Amino acid sequence: MKGLIKGFIDLIYPPSCLVCGHSSQELVCPDCLRKLPFINSCFCKKCGKPTLHSVFNCQACKGKRVYFSLCRSLGKYEEPLKGLIHQFKYSHRKNLAFFFASFVTEHFDNLISPVDLITFIPMLSPKERERGYNQAELLGREIANLARKPIEPTLYFKRKIKEQNTLKLEERKNNVKDAFSIKLRFGLDLKGKTVLLVDDVYTTGSTVIEASKVLKKAGVKEVRVITLARVP
């Protein structure tokens, strides 16, 4: 029955590519898929920032205590990846979680394999109620499912913060400073664990750095970070 209903809907509203709008059975057609700005070659081995030559500490993270051991981003925060992320976050395109997670697990298999646990950047409760979901959690759960890793909501906001994307770059660090706390279900111990922290976009790194600091204070041995995109 579901197949018949889907076929009827597809007949009336033919599926189309989320990028170009042309007819496509996939969320993103092959032509647009080739245009995604993946970070495949030169980048900072510490924070994942795209660079002209591969380095172990770029200008963005040199001399900065970042708390995570490494961070990798699927691509640059440029079109068409930027538009897809916006649809994922603001247009209820929750099915993009599996689309993105498939690429993440393929590209970063060696990074994910050693982790004991996956977690994600939380969202303030009023904002999550308004949106209906936390895109970082959806992405994290799809990655966990594909990689066959446990996932736990270990972090929460202990105070209200402003939305990072509304602030100037220099204001973002203070906005999230001491904003996170740890909340674990009974029986879960983070001590000695290698944890993968998932978020959507890395801009200044303030959010994942602060979250990594809290996880380390809770006894986590190593924090690895994955985001969908990196602002160059």
Q: What digits encode the pLDDT tens for the residues 40-78?
A: 889 999 999 999 998 998 988 888 899 999 999 999 999
* pLDDT > 70 in the chain, percent: 94
Domain residue ranges of the chain, discontinuous segments joined by +:
1-34, 36-230
Are 18 and 27 contacting, i.e. CB atoms less than 8 angstroms apart?
Answer: yes
Residue for token pair 């640059």: 76
Q: What is the structure's pLDDT at 9?
A: 40
The continuous run of DSSP H or E covering 78 comes out as none
Quick check: helix, strand or coil at residue 224?
strand
pTM of the predicted structure, to 2 decimals: 0.92
Residue 114: other Cβ atoms inside 10 A: 10
Question: What whole-number distance in Å separates Cα of residue 232 and Cα of residue 226?
Answer: 15
Query: Cα-flanking dihedrals φ and ψ of residue 23, to 5°?
Result: -55, 130
Give 36-230's CATH code, choosing from 3.40.50.720, 3.30.1550.10, 2.160.10.10, 3.40.50.2020. Answer: 3.40.50.2020
Q: Is 110 exposed, middle or buried (0-12, 13-18, 19+ CB in 10 A)?
A: exposed
Which is more confident, 49 or 169? 49
Predicted local distance difference test score (pLDDT) of residue 63: 83
C-alpha–C-alpha distance, residues 22 and 28, integer Å: 9
Contact between 232 and 59 under an 8 Å Cβ cutoff? The reply is no
